[in-house]
Structure 1
């Protein structure tokens, strides 16, 4: 009987186990998770009428893989969109909070009239952005901050692109690889010779972020998605509290060593952070392990604060992002009770602060969030409740050279029956993680259906 072991119980591993089980219900599948629970950074916490997301709070609609899985799991009736709000979010430029320009495509202006009217940019900044329509393209990869400054100017970077992109990856968004983290923008440059021209065209094909129509969640929080996938794994052997300590490639199978013994399998899906994968693969494929070890990770955290609604100022839209270089600690705030229905009891406001690239204790993170709110509001009452969710080294950073590192790392899949999945490779968002986990599971099922060949020789 064919056997598959999935290592890692985050969304990549859960998606892989589910896809493999669906493709071949007779397959013996084991899911191993080092921690006490499944779901990775998808963590919903309910307490006394408050519904909190410790990690991501939504999926984007235009990347279909997460929504397709939710619907397949019977969650169609639980899908919800953000509450109506115009503007949906503001950006604070250090002096005042201003609406995000309408028609924005990712971080690129897709509405020339809105660009002309926005007070976020000075007349010079707007004129500099329009030079994008005339500038030549550039084929090679470059840091994201350099790319946006080259195409659209420094003001667009500091006041639009940096705040909008700062919450996606850990650390400084200026250091990201444009080709790895934002390939769509390099494609716009290649196909339209201009980001703005490409964004104008793209806007005709899909919605814009200011209406909030791009985002979806679940009525009971994204944690209900984890619960639904887990229910769909009936017959799969699921072991939390089971860290994997080693991998051995045997002539006809894999041996997966854990803190509680070992598992035998003909195929393995390794759906863990890059550093963990590097440690496990170092004896088997040193060059791939070195490449995985070179993928940097950054810290992130969320702080949720509950206030009596009458004690804080009126808030606009769903939240506020912070311009770069203005001395804020947080990347942005979400007005959770105004973004999603049913997230706070009547009479309460629920504010969520997002941190990226900051290592601090829980009490320090709360004080940083309150200090930034005081800067925005002038005076902040003591929160009645607070919750902190920290993700040390939780987000991979796709810095320049990432595509080359991933190409080298995935050479480890030359080892017969090994498949790599997770946020370290082709996207950190939930849709991309689901897509890759599912795809690797189907490759594993196809491999097993052909019959597992003997192991390839170990590389020198």
Structure 2
């Protein structure tokens, strides 16, 4: 019996464990998670009729891997779309909240009529964006995302549209994002069509618009149901919570994973851990890969959910609001959770979620900052009846310039026989990308184990479990 150990019980590790066990039920699969629960930043709390998402609250439909896994788990009937409020979201430019233009393809205008009519951009800003149709094609190499968008579409599109949207996905400083790592599709549009706008116009018919209410999907009762469904399917997997991997050792043709409770042997290992954890484990085995992993920056993020009686709230439009750059808000954006998803708040209550990136503060201060920004938006804010705070210190990898080179160097660790890397640090921070990577690395691990006979006694371990 071959043995596979997966270190890390976030969505990448869960997807890897599920896929490996399903691909070969004869495998002895163990999943180690340092925390006392599985799911990583997917964290749903249900209390007194409220359903709170501590981390991501949705998956995008046009990246199929997350929804495909939900269907495989029997959750297809519980998949829900956003409520049909129009428009889906606004962007606050520092003075007023304005709708995101219709037909947007990622962060690029894909509807010329909507671009002409949007009050989010001045006449000059609109003309500058259309100049993209005439500009020469740029170089194929990488560049900061902010520089790329300003070069093609101008400063207004960057500050009022692209920066708040991309910052809401990746956090941190969106200007410094690696274009090739974070938005390779946009670089491809420029290279293929010579223009972002021209490419977006051609793409528009292939993807549902942002306002159609079908860009995002979740589950009834929150994404925590997804984690629970995966846990239920891992009956043949040994899951050890509260068990951190402290060291990784190569012993002949096998691996030894050390933990505070002892050690266990494996024929293959998947490290589905943050880059810093993987770097620490790999330092004695592959110093150059460990060095590259340590160079992947991470930032803090947090969400604050606030429950208000509806009678005290001003009218709220759509599903939420993003904040344009440089407007001196602490919050990156707000979600009107009760207007975005059905059944997330009891009747008579509104549920507001604030998203922070790069703000390190205690729970009380985060609540204060969220309320202060709401007061700036609304003029008057009633005291919330309940608040919930979720903090993720160093929880979000930042794909800064040079990210692809760092990832390529980190992946050299996979030259070690039977070692694989997965997670949000590499090829996408969204749940669909993380799930896909976990599944792909599980498939490679299974293929490796089928080709390489085990040489150590089956089930050998040292005081773990």
* TM class by smaller structure: over 0.9
1:212 Cα shift?
Answer: 2.2
Aligned twin of 2:257: 256
Structure-1 separation of matches of 2:100 and 2:453: 53
Aligned twin of 1:146: 147
2:151 aligned with 1:155? no
Structure-1 separation of matches of 2:348 and 2:221: 20
- 1:271-329 deviation digits (Å, cap 9, x = unpaired): 00000000000000000000000000010000000000010101000001101111111
Query: Structure 1 residue runs of 4+, over 2 Å off?
Result: none
Structure-2 separation of matches of 1:235 and 1:124: 62
2:86 aligned with 1:83? no
Aligned twin of 1:127: 127
- 1:308-354 deviation digits (Å, cap 9, x = unpaired): 00101010000011011111111100000000000000000000000
- What is the DSSP-based 3-state SS (H/G/I as helix, E as strand, rest coil) of the residue aligned with 1:103? coil
Structure-1 separation of matches of 2:7 and 2:318: 40
Structure-2 separation of matches of 1:54 and 1:452: 43
2:321 aligned with 1:320? yes
Aligned twin of 1:352: 353
CA distance change for structure 1 residues 409 and 452 in 2, over 3 Å: closer, same or farther?
A: farther
Aligned twin of 1:297: 298
8 Å CA contact retained: 1:85, 1:211: no
Aligned twin of 1:458: none
Structure-1 separation of matches of 2:389 and 2:157: 32
Structure-1 separation of matches of 2:78 and 2:454: 44
> Matches of residues 196-345 of structure 1 in structure 2 within 5 Å?
196-345=197-346
1:235 Cα shift?
Answer: 1.3
Aligned length: 454
1:211 Cα shift?
Answer: 2.1
Aligned twin of 1:18: 18
8 Å CA contact retained: 2:144, 2:176: yes
Structure 2's unaligned 5+ residue stretches are: 456-465
- What is the DSSP-based 3-state SS (H/G/I as helix, E as strand, rest coil) of the residue aligned with 1:147? helix
- What is the DSSP-based 3-state SS (H/G/I as helix, E as strand, rest coil) of the residue aligned with 1:379? coil
Query: Which moves more between the two structures, 205-214 or 191-200?
Result: 205-214
8 Å CA contact retained: 2:43, 2:54: yes
1:77 Cα shift?
Answer: 0.7
1:138 Cα shift?
Answer: 2.0
- TM-score, normalised with respect to structure 2: 0.97
> Matches of residues 9-88 of structure 1 in structure 2 within 5 Å?
9-88=9-88
- 1:120-145 deviation digits (Å, cap 9, x = unpaired): 00000000001111112221101111
8 Å CA contact retained: 2:301, 2:358: yes
Structure 1's unaligned 5+ residue stretches are: 455-460
- TM-score, normalised with respect to structure 1: 0.98
8 Å CA contact retained: 1:269, 1:420: yes
8 Å CA contact retained: 1:417, 1:452: no
Structure-1 separation of matches of 2:370 and 2:323: 12
Aligned twin of 1:383: 384
Structure-1 separation of matches of 2:233 and 2:454: 30
Structure-2 separation of matches of 1:288 and 1:115: 45
Aligned twin of 1:184: 185
8 Å CA contact retained: 2:2, 2:454: no
- What is the DSSP-based 3-state SS (H/G/I as helix, E as strand, rest coil) of the residue aligned with 1:448? helix
1:167 Cα shift?
Answer: 1.5
- What is the DSSP-based 3-state SS (H/G/I as helix, E as strand, rest coil) of the residue aligned with 2:180? helix
2:104 aligned with 1:104? yes
8 Å CA contact retained: 1:299, 1:357: yes
1:62 Cα shift?
Answer: 0.3
1:452 Cα shift?
Answer: 5.0
1:453 Cα shift?
Answer: 8.5
- 1:346-390 deviation digits (Å, cap 9, x = unpaired): 000000000011111111111111111011100001111100000
Structure-2 separation of matches of 1:385 and 1:87: 28
Please give the root-mean-square deviation of Cα atoms over the aligned residues, in Å. 0.9
Aligned twin of 1:94: 94
- What is the DSSP-based 3-state SS (H/G/I as helix, E as strand, rest coil) of the residue aligned with 1:370? helix
Structure-2 separation of matches of 1:452 and 1:118: 63
- What is the DSSP-based 3-state SS (H/G/I as helix, E as strand, rest coil) of the residue aligned with 2:206? coil
